[in-house]
């Protein structure tokens, strides 16, 4: 039974989430303050975290940052804030998805299932040989650990979480530099990331360029044959 931690200071929202997610087969734990949430994260392992941004003591962004020091569990932000900057901030701090209040409990359930399926596929695809530390921006593989800069890590996650997807240079620019990046920034960042991932290629694969179309992460040959 997948375990979910729901963090929100609204008792009605907590109750609705507990009832609905419980009916859908989840083991649900709740916290109504940031401090109690952090305490729970240090005591118990969760498969997914549903996190409200506006809390009475600590905001959700700070909780997300603290959570990433102890868990890699996917985090879904729930908030009344609909500003692009807030969404970007949450995702850059280690969040995995973002929903704006009011939201559909059915949609939340679907998103949780989708995230957990993606996590499971990644573990199976890499045979459990890869561990991603989002807080420290570290990639752990047998015999080799790689540290990435902030932008390198964001680019890596884009490829790693979307295996086989083709990203045009313009799409990457918009995702990483929403306010505009310097000319040639994508090519430079791709080059740096390729160099750092060279020794992890047997487990992760290689970033390839399809001329005139974009970049994709091609899995190792052994995974293509599986």
pLDDT single digits (tens) 204-220: 888 998 887 899 988 77
What is the average pLDDT across 183-211?
A: 86
Going along 67-171, which residue ranges are E strands? Answer: 75-79, 97-100, 131-133, 138-141, 144-147
CB 64 within 8 A of CB 90: yes
Digit-coded pLDDT (tens) for 52-83: 988 989 988 889 888 877 787 889 998 876 66
End-to-end Cα spacing for the chain: 28
Q: What's domain 3-122's architecture?
A: 3-Layer(aba) Sandwich (3.40)
Domain boundaries, the chain: 3-122, 127-225
pLDDT at site 90: 75
Task: Enter the tokens of residue 133.
Answer: 């530390």
What is the average pLDDT across 3-14?
A: 93
Residue whose structure tokens are 């989002």: 134
What is the average pLDDT across 160-168?
A: 83
CATH 1.10.10.10 fits domain 127-225: yes
User: pTM (2 decimals)?
Assistant: 0.60
> How do strand 214-218 and strand 144-147 relate by DSSP bridges?
unpaired
Task: Enter the tokens of residue 92.
Answer: 């850059």
């Amino acid at each position: 039974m997948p375990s979910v931690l729901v963090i929100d200071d609204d008792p009605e929202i907590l109750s609705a989430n507990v009832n609905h997610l419980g009916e859908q087969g989840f083991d649900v734990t709740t916290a109504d303050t940031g401090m109690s949430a952090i305490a729970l994260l240090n005591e118990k392992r969760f498969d997914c975290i549903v996190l409200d941004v506006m809390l009475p003591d600590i905001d959700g962004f700070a909780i997300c940052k603290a959570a990433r020091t102890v868990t890699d569990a996917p985090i879904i932000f729930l908030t009344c804030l609909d500003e692009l900057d807030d969404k970007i901030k949450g995702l850059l701090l280690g969040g995995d998805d973002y929903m704006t209040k009011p939201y559909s409990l059915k949609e939340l359930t679907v998103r949780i299932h989708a995230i957990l399926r993606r996590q499971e596929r990644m573990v199976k695809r890499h045979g459990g040989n890869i561990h991603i530390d989002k807080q420290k921006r570290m990639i752990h593989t047998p015999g080799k650990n790689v540290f990435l800069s902030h932008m390198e890590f964001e680019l890596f996650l884009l490829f790693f979480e979307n295996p086989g997807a083709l990203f045009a240079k313009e799409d990457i620019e918009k995702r990483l530099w929403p306010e505009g990046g310097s000319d040639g920034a994508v090519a430079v960042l791709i080059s740096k990331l390729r160099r750092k991932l060279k020794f992890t290629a047997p487990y992760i694969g290689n970033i390839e360029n399809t001329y005139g179309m974009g970049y994709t992460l091609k899995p190792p040959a052994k995974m293509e044959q599986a």
